[in-house]
Chain A
Amino acid sequence: MLTKRLVKFAIPFAVGALALTACSDDGDGGGGDGSTFKIAYQGPLSGDNVQLGVNMVNGVKLAIQEANESGDYDVEFELVEADDGGEPGKATAAAQSAIDAGVIAVVGPAFSGAAEVAAPNYAEAGIAALTPSATRPDLTEKGFATFLRGVPNDAEQGKAISDFFVSEGVTKAVVIDDTGDYAAGLADVAQSHLEEAGVEVVRESVPDDTVDHSGIARTVTESGAEAVAYTGYYAQAGPLAVKLKEAGYEGLALGGDGVKDPQFLSLAGDAAEGWYFSCPCRDLSTDEKGQDFIDRYTAEFDAEPGTYSPEAYDATQMIIEAVAELGDGADAKSVYEALAAGTHEGVAKTLSFTETGEYNGSGIYLYQATGGAITALGNVTDVVGG
């Protein structure tokens, strides 16, 4: 492909240009032959939760492709994939590969555990890490210099889960995490809010490599709880749902944003029916802008956008605009500063950040699996209030 060849030539050119920014005076004066900037996506592009990574990286790809094809910008953009498998253990290496590739900013890290490990690396390199999905609350409290969160955190989601259960009249609930950072954090918040509201909570931890869920399913049914919340990812939630159904569990079941994925439906089959999902992600099909995004995404990837596809798209677009604004002279530091202070009207929501890099806004949405599809029920506050 022509673009590919162009990019091949552009890389050394861009690297050279970046290295020489200090003494360059931008001699050729622009035109269609501007610099190429690399934007990394760090997240699970392999491993059990690869679907979430694919959702996001496709969002990034779409944003970059549209930017390059639009002709609106003097500069070109290129994607660098940094696969951390969603695992903290691989996060440093993934971050380093992105840093070594000379990226201008990063969309990610996608998962909270990996984000905690990789954020210091990006901070040291002065590269903005704008995560579309890492929702563990304390990530923005650790002073990572360049970390930005483009999504409401789990403190809010945990409360939403609790509010929902309470409004359904639940008196006893089982809260299950997968022992990972994100899941345990969300479960902690949900548990404390539930207990505050006078709901008895049985807390369980099922490691995310568990293959046999018959034990936990028995624990849930024997506990006599009316509701169960699983805060891990769909890869585990699928078989868990199946075993719960087999064990005869008939109460409420809810998964966090890591579960809200069509893959969950395919893994759990009939057992998925009736499951609720909480997610800091808005249903896009309710407005024109969102529907337009769905159409463009579907046309490109032959699949509907998944959880966090629009968030990743928005984050990428925000980076692209910041870079384009700064022009050829953009470097990682100036891009970070532009992002941290900026506001971006995205397809999912308006992105802006507080001083600590926290997403400036709110909104947790409730979904339900009905008839083999995930249906939006609306903002949790509306659902609970109504």
Chain B
Amino acid sequence: MDKWKDNKAWFLVLPVFILVAFSAIIPLMTVVNYSLQDIFGPGQRVFVGTEWFQEVLSDKRLHDALWRQFLFSGLVLLIEMPLGILIALMMPKKGWAASVSLVLIALPLLIPWNVIGTIWIIFTRPDIGLFGAAINSLGTAFDHTARSSDAWITLMLMEVWHWTPLVVLLAYAGLRAIPEAYFQAAKIDGASTWATFWYIQLPKMRGVLTIALLLRFMDSFLIYAEPFVLTGGGPGNATTFLSIYLVKIAVGQFDLGPAAAFSLVYFLIILLFSWLFYQVLQNVGKGEKA
């Protein structure tokens, strides 16, 4: 075959390969090595086999954190994906209004993650925060540091405010890339707004929505900085997500072995779900073309 004759293109891939090796593959190998040993310090380690995996897999607190994490990511996707598409559909298509709305929509994405947490701490404070004070003036005692339901509401609001813009931007880009001819054809056929959306816009957005879904799932599943700053995992353990619990084990207690085993389980969960989402979204509607 011809493509094997000229292999110079492989050199262009080399920098990425080296970068990935140093940023992902070598650290991952180190984590695998750590997960089978009890590490006391540099050069002091004992091989313990699968002991850490047994410990981690039977850890009740980890199970709780895992369900909490699934609930959080599930809610995030259920709210952000439809909301993002809806906003993208309502945005102006061209002219200065389109530019202005794009900039306004993208603003939350520019704020560093730990600052987001701080902003929302102040925003939801019952005494000086606009949101907290407003809710309290209605007669409901709102306090995200004391009630777990309030902590969840605050976290969800923060997450939706912070990350829906990403879905909007991707969906908007997907919508703008649809040729005008499709809409003209739909108009001639007398298609309703809903039919146009369901049979033209949504299928044409499949690629960008796949990326949006994967990014939002992975990011929300790995969330750390925002709940750490906002609630610190509390009240109690109400918002202790997987990464917060992981950091407690690894940095707080310096149990590198269990933390490494935990990280690998975490990694495998993300790998499985990302792959499943990818497969589902790539195969949706494929049968219709035939």
Are A and B subunits of one complex?
no
Chain A residues in contact with chain B, CB under 8 A? Answer: none
